[in-house]
Structure 1
Amino acid sequence: MKKVLFTLCLITAAWLASAQLVEPVKWSFAQNKISANEFELVFTAKIEKGWHMYSTDLPEGGPIKTSFYFEKVENVELIGEPTPDKEVTEEFDKSFQMDLRWFSDEVNFTQKVKVAGAGEITGYVEFMSCNDETCTPPMEATFSFDLSGAANTEIAEAKPEANSTAGGETRDYWSIFFLAFLGGLAALLTPCVFPMIPMTVSFFTKQSKTKAKGIRNGIWYGISIILIYVILGTVVTAVFGAESLNSLSTNPWFNLFFALLLFVFAFSFMGAFEIILPSSWVNAVDRKADKGGLIGIFFMAFALALVSFSCTGPIVGALIVEAARSGGLAPVIGMLGFSLALAIPFALFAAFPGWLNSLPKSGGWLNSVKVVLGFLEFAFAFKFLSIADMVLDLHILEREVYIAIWIAIFLGLALYLWGKIKLPHDSPLTHLPVSRFILGTMVMAFVIYMIPGLWGAPVKLISGFPPPVDYAESPLGVGRTQPAGAVATGHSSGTMTLGMHIGPHGIPLFDDYDDALAHAKATGKPLLIDFTGKGCTNCRKMEDNVWVEQEVKNMFLEDFVVVSLYVDLKTKLPEEEQYISETTGRKVRTIGNKWTDFQISRFNRNTQPYYVILDANEKQVGEGYGYDPHADDFIEWLNEGLSEFKK
């Protein structure tokens, strides 16, 4: 009986240990013969509930995308690339400051091929999966196809992961709608649109013989405005296509074009020149409007869009640019929000002309609104320049430069609001209105808030606009450097030793296990291993929410030697250092593969983030620590490990 119980304990222990390893994505492969010499290869990923697998078209600097590698292709011509059978879920990730795309539940990728005689294809698919708490390292599933003329067959099976619904996309659409709605309200206050309200209402009052007809005409006028702008958004979506817009959002040349477009609009708003459509277009539409009836009212709305283009064009352009980065129906949703804000006042004042008496008189304040919008567009243009700079890895518009430019732009805006700067179309300012003084003071407070960002402050209010902290001239902030090659002291004043680099939030880290272990032995400190990934969202969340705490920083600097092992590094190992893992049976090709295999073989875990403390004999101290963005819990775990190490 004791032997039976002992055996059951061993089985249970083995099962619990194996449960630490996760394979949330399972792959299967099949081939379909579609003609005498054409085949369709199908790669199916079934993703566990709560997980997601990243798409095939992610921008650089983010998680590992799904990639297909065809190593052996004999007598076969690949036609195009593997194409998914469903749309991706897309959501902005604050940790990476970029839009990320992924699949959940199940997705099929199809690859068409032509065969000359008997063909053969072998290779592997590399993929990465995450849930709300952790990520797997890049994993591989191998495939092999015999295309000798066999009919439809299922080839093999393998493994992947899942989570996410269209909820993220819906949230994006709502945010775009409200942003566009605010843009429409801003457009109302420009000198091209605001004076049109009483003129339009006066026209409807004269043309409408009864109050009921006036209300009907006003409502149709508003609907016409909405239709015109929604059609514009639909055309943009139809011309580019949802998938193309997704791809273009991370294309550096397209982002440069967006930036140039916003610069042109900004200078136009500031009075450098005016964007005017050909007068023949406006005259042609005016003639259509003279016909009267519902058709005439529609062309009146069209005439409003053309006449006010010099003011609404820059706002519409900026909104379409931002919506295009989200892809899908975003341009249509954006134009719906913009036109709704624009149409409601025209429709209401046309239906109830008596309300006109409550409107403020036109004047120089309208041009001031236009100039303020110009400053904002000028600032937003640098966001697109920044994306292009990061994708091309030019390091021209790094974090400090970006923040400095924004400080200068908003300082200029504050001085303009206070009347210290005059632009071409400004009216004489005999006194400073209270509204301009208050708004200028708020902008100046924003400028003062951004200044510490030059010295490494997180400036969370503008999170998502500047490049991330590690894309900077000095990760510690302007004027703060650490001498290369200095001997580490273990104090928070922090010099660095050979093999270290500046990590998140200015913390000195190793990136090689052997170097870190040698330093830990030399200094008599415990070794803290951080299993992480360049493309691990939850790793960034731990860094941004936990590592940023001063107590954690102090413990990293004074009590531990910290090494970050990136499981997704694509750097190839020298041929002689590549090997087949005894634990997984997979080939270890890259540095990332090496650290993945190390984590699995030593600690029986394959998810990140994961933290382990070792003593000088490489024996684990206490339990490991996974994703938990509560700093107090992480500090408690560090203290427990430190106490155990000192025993």
Structure 2
Amino acid sequence: MLRRFFFLPVLLALLFSFAGTAQVLKPTRLTTVISQPAARVGEELELIVNARIEDKWHLYATNFDPDLGPTVFSFAFVKSPAYELVGAPKSVGAQKHYDDVFKGNVTYFEKTGQIRQRIRVLQPGSLTIKAEAEFQSCTDVDGKCIPGEESLTFGPIDVAGAAAAAPRETAAPVAPATTAATTAATAAAPATAPVVAAGTPAPTADPATVAAGPAPAVVAAANAATSAAVAPALAAAAEPVAAAGGLWGFALTAFLFGLSALITPCVFPLIPMTVSFFTSGNDSRSRGILKAAVYGLSIIVIYVLIGVVVAALLGQDGPNLIATHWLPNLIFFAVFVVFGLSFLGLFEITLPHGLVNKIDAQADKGGWIGVFFMALTLVLVSFSCTGPIVGTILGLSSRGERIAPVVGMLGFSLAFALPFTLFAIFPAWLKSLPRSGGWLNTVKVTLGFVELMLALKFLSMADLAYHWNLLPRDIYLVLWIALSGLLGLYLLGRFKLSHDSDLTHLSVGRLLMAVLSFSFMTYLVPGLFGAPLPLLAGYLPPQSRTDFTVAAASAPAVATATTPNAACEVPRYGDFLELPHGLSGFFDLEQAQRCAKAQNKPLFIDFTGHACVNCRKMEATVWSDPQVLKRLQNDFVVVALYVDDKVELPASEVYVSKYDGKEKTTLGKKNADLQLAAFNVNAQPYYVLLDPNAPADLAHALAPPIGYEPDVAEFVRFLDAGLARYRQQVAAR
């Protein structure tokens, strides 16, 4: 009795301290308006979502690769015959940033943001559109990331019957300096469209419905004000600005590709032949220089036109489709393999000779038109060498914005055309060019190996998206190691391919290239044994279990069993989820509780997410510490609960949440609901220590739960405090 009395004040103190740390964060609030309150059948209008974001937080936008990690802002619209979607949602004024953790470009909003979705109305009447929005907000202050879900309502929209003579209503264009007006409209929006934030009870019995707001006249006035404040021109102007940083880097890469194309066997010998045409004959030197400039400009125009055509074919949804769908990725994989084998000499890719001859005949006519057709002839004749390089640029650019193919072709063609123009102006420089020879085919073969390595990236994207498990990280690395090793041996002259000439001696250039190739191969080898290889994180599949079981000398020894104990169950979802550092554990709380009871151990609950940056940082820098890893392996049963996983729950496990009244249909939504309902927290990472015999809630936590904690000593103290408390409770029973 005395012992129970002693524990009472301790328990009350713990409860008060837990209550002080628990909070539901709502850094992003959404409101909805429409670009015009009325329309006619067949007309298009825009559904607008305005976001207000707390200071020092950011909201991820729509237009970046969803495979990078962060949750892309997305909608799930309720289907209706009264309207149809036109294109993909667009982010207005989003910033672009290269994320070092995810190794790719992400777009995001700070303070305010706007996302627009075009629709076409199809039936007359009063139209109200409903959608479920999914998004993610993060802060760099303490690393928290908050997944969000919200039910949105747009309208009502007064749709009249089609009238041929009626002019289409559009939003009035405004000057670019409308950011303040946008902010003002966003601030005023709550008066017309109340917010239902993720994690709050729905205001009506229908969990998918947001309150419609005041009378239609008030809504119409607000819609008109927003339409006048934010014009479609602002969205168009924002995209190039947001993309500028990444496009400059891509343009430089394409420029380097263009330089590499110049030193291929199909192009290099043509430089002196072409330049001699402009420096000989009856033309004056100034006219010859002008013709050379037009020739170079024509090359640029031809390749940029190719980029424009590709951008037009991609359309609005092209980049996202190629980034996420299996078919385009497999097509690019096959194309890159064909290009690579062509460079290695298996066959030659050429255009029809009849086409080339017709173009060449036009060039023979002379004059300025003849100069253009000379440039076109060069493009066609050199296709067997430049085609694979151009295809590589277009393939890589298709994973970015629509403007990327144009920028890529501009960078490539600038490098490709520059020597022809410069050597025509300064013909004496021709004497400094090295002679044609076997080294040109060496360059071509080297590019072939690079093409084959790049091809694996496209196969990997399809493999990861659809869980085929054809190309796990280990096999990916083995193929790259083999290709880079073969390239090194080739450069050293250890074997020859079909078009190679005899190698009488090893040049310094080949030797240095071989050193780079073997160095790259050596860098890759530790990745087979679990090394993260941060320089290549954007190109490699995610790190998981390794088939190479020899432990690295510096890595702590951990068990790699599928389950913590033979008496415990095989983990659900263990076929596609796993814990880091060889830890064994679970991904379902009920399973973990049963196992912990059987082993008489406390639970270590890890609320995490695939898109959680600081979750990965904690695993890499804190969990990997021998003190932490030893405790997690020996003293706790670990359960990782992903709040953003998209796998569908079995029909028997789908339920309606008592917390927010919404149906939970995926594993991620179930885990996020548990974190909110039981612990009143919605940020990750979030770590809870729990007695498996007690309910999963804040009141029964063994120690105050913690979030992102990079201090290893503090994390160890957290684990030890929970373990000590659990042992006290066991002793008191």
TM-score scaled by length of structure 1? 0.82
Deviation at 1:122, TM superposition (A): 5.8
List runs of 5+ in structure 1 lacking aligned partners: 1-11, 489-494
**Are 2:47 and 1:42 aligned?**
yes
Using the alignment, how far apart are the partners of 1:142 and 1:591 within structure 2?
23
CA contact (8 A) 2:95 2:107 kept: yes
Equivalent residue number for residue 707 of structure 2: 626
Deviation at 1:106, TM superposition (A): 1.4
Using the alignment, how far apart are the partners of 1:165 and 1:592 within structure 2?
32
1:25 to 3, 26, 29: 29
Letter in 2 for 1:578: Y
SS at match of 2:502: coil
Using the alignment, how far apart are the partners of 2:628 and 2:293 within structure 1?
61
Deviation at 1:338, TM superposition (A): 1.0
What root-mean-square deviation, in Å, do the aligned CA atoms of Structure 1 and Structure 2 show?
Answer: 4.0
Equivalent residue number for residue 146 of structure 2: 136
Equivalent residue number for residue 377 of structure 2: 303
2:582 to 477, 484, 506: 506
Using the alignment, how far apart are the partners of 1:239 and 1:376 within structure 2?
27
**Are 2:82 and 1:106 aligned?**
no
Using the alignment, how far apart are the partners of 1:343 and 1:56 within structure 2?
33
Equivalent residue number for residue 492 of structure 1: none
Superposition map of 1:133-212 within 5 A: 133-141=143-151, 143=153, 156-159=194-197, 169-207=243-281, 210-212=284-286
2:525 to 451, 457, 479: 451
After superposition, what is the alpha-carbon deviation per residue over 1:58-108, rounded to whole angstroms, capped at 9, x for unaligned? 6579555555456696xx534236853546777776656777666771123
Using the alignment, how far apart are the partners of 2:32 and 2:116 within structure 1?
10
Using the alignment, how far apart are the partners of 2:239 and 2:357 within structure 1?
49
Deviation at 1:138, TM superposition (A): 4.2
Equivalent residue number for residue 335 of structure 1: 409
Equivalent residue number for residue 350 of structure 2: 276
After superposition, what is the alpha-carbon deviation per residue over 1:383-421, rounded to whole angstroms, capped at 9, x for unaligned? 112222223322122222222222222222122111122
Using the alignment, how far apart are the partners of 1:214 and 1:144 within structure 2?
64
Letter in 1 for 2:257: G
Cα separation, partners in 2 of 1:335 and 1:36, compared to 1, 3 Å: closer
TM-score scaled by length of structure 2? 0.74
After superposition, what is the alpha-carbon deviation per residue over 1:218-243, rounded to whole angstroms, capped at 9, x for unaligned? 43333232222222212211233243
CA contact (8 A) 2:324 2:465 kept: yes
Using the alignment, how far apart are the partners of 2:624 and 2:282 within structure 1?
66
Superposition map of 1:342-357 within 5 A: 342-357=416-431
Using the alignment, how far apart are the partners of 1:485 and 1:600 within structure 2?
28
Equivalent residue number for residue 183 of structure 2: none
Letter in 2 for 1:437: L
Deviation at 1:367, TM superposition (A): 0.9
**Are 2:580 and 1:572 aligned?**
no
Using the alignment, how far apart are the partners of 1:419 and 1:37 within structure 2?
67
SS at match of 2:51: strand
SS at match of 1:26: strand
- Percent of pairs with identical residues: 40
Using the alignment, how far apart are the partners of 2:90 and 2:504 within structure 1?
65
Superposition map of 1:351-366 within 5 A: 351-366=425-440
1:251 to 320, 325, 332: 325
**Are 2:632 and 1:556 aligned?**
yes
CA contact (8 A) 1:134 1:609 kept: yes
CA contact (8 A) 2:96 2:106 kept: yes
Cα separation, partners in 2 of 1:246 and 1:82, compared to 1, 3 Å: closer
Equivalent residue number for residue 222 of structure 1: 296
Deviation at 1:322, TM superposition (A): 0.7
Using the alignment, how far apart are the partners of 1:203 and 1:606 within structure 2?
71
Using the alignment, how far apart are the partners of 1:71 and 1:188 within structure 2?
54
CA contact (8 A) 2:125 2:160 kept: no
1:80 to 82, 85, 89: 85
Cα separation, partners in 2 of 1:302 and 1:233, compared to 1, 3 Å: same
Using the alignment, how far apart are the partners of 1:461 and 1:101 within structure 2?
22
Equivalent residue number for residue 502 of structure 2: 428
Using the alignment, how far apart are the partners of 2:386 and 2:256 within structure 1?
13
Using the alignment, how far apart are the partners of 1:597 and 1:407 within structure 2?
44
Equivalent residue number for residue 209 of structure 2: none
Letter in 1 for 2:145: C
1:368 to 442, 447, 450: 442
CA contact (8 A) 2:121 2:159 kept: no
CA contact (8 A) 2:63 2:90 kept: no
CA contact (8 A) 1:262 1:318 kept: yes
After superposition, what is the alpha-carbon deviation per residue over 1:589-626, rounded to whole angstroms, capped at 9, x for unaligned? 54433332332234332122222334676744555433
List runs of 5+ in structure 2 lacking aligned partners: 1-15, 162-168, 170-190, 199-237, 551-558, 726-733
